[in-house]
Amino acid sequence: MKVLAVSIFMAVDFLLIGTHITLWMLGVRVPLFSIEIDRSYPEFYQYLKFFWLFYLSIVLAIRRGEAAFVFLAIIFLALLVVDSFGIHESFGSKIASTLTLEPILGLRLQEYGEMFVMASLGASSFLLWGIAYSLARADQRYIIVFTGKMLLLLALFGVVVDMVHQMMTRVGRTAYFIAGSIEDGGEMLVLSVLAGFFVVYSLSSNRMAPLANFPKGSLGTPP
């Protein structure tokens, strides 16, 4: 069931990523199908996944009395708001306007401002994740650890690969496109795995049932 749920989410990802790449190769610019442009169809699909993660976390917290998921819900809601409203870009611009640093590595001051915003969000998310882990029962900690790993992977694409993406502006159009596709495509796939997992866990009558489909060691060591 876990594989099916993840596959459904990822099938849409591959369709959107494939369309994005195909249109670029054909030299056709259709912003609504670009995975790199805000408010496009792929971006709205990302918003939907964040919403589902938030909603399912609230459901788990209320129906099963799993308080740890309240803090995960706050993380997902914050990521949804920041991503959908472009807060990291608007606040990044304000911060950039106050900086007097000399840009290096092909990055603009705008990127430095955005990195500061994302670093602040990451630190807050880590704190909330830590609280969730401390509140979780022994059988829940597998899920909390897995969620933490996926969030770290999401940050890797959203921050580190994004930096590489911006550096590619000096290399060429093709390199810039490839880096951007890896960044946004990676974020889409990571979020699909996490959303699929939450769907299965929330639907399972047995709290540990979804974990049976994961390879041993992938979610951490049992306490």
Instruction: pLDDT band for 214, please (50, 70, 90 cuts).
Output: very low
Helix (H/G/I), strand (E/B), else coil: 37? coil
Q: Which residues contact 212 (CB under 8 A, 6 or more apart)?
A: none
CA distance 65 to 210: 18
**Assigned domain for 220 exists:** no
> Nearest-5° angle of CA 60, CA 132, CA 57?
25
The answer to whether residue 24 is domain-embedded is: yes
**CB of 60 within 8 A of CB of 201?**
yes
Segment 98-143, tens digit of pLDDT: 766 666 665 666 677 777 778 888 899 999 999 999 999 888 899 9
- What is the pTM for the complete model shown? 0.83
108 lies in a domain?
yes
Asked if residue 124 belongs to a domain, the reply is: yes
pLDDT in tens, 51-106: 999 999 999 999 888 899 999 999 999 999 988 887 766 666 666 567 666 666 65
- Which range of residues forms the domain containing residue 38? 2-213
Tally the domains of the chain: 1
Q: Residue type at 174? A: T
Helix (H, G, I), strand (E, B) or coil at 40: coil
Q: Is the residue at 147 inside a domain?
A: yes
Residue 105 lies in a domain: yes
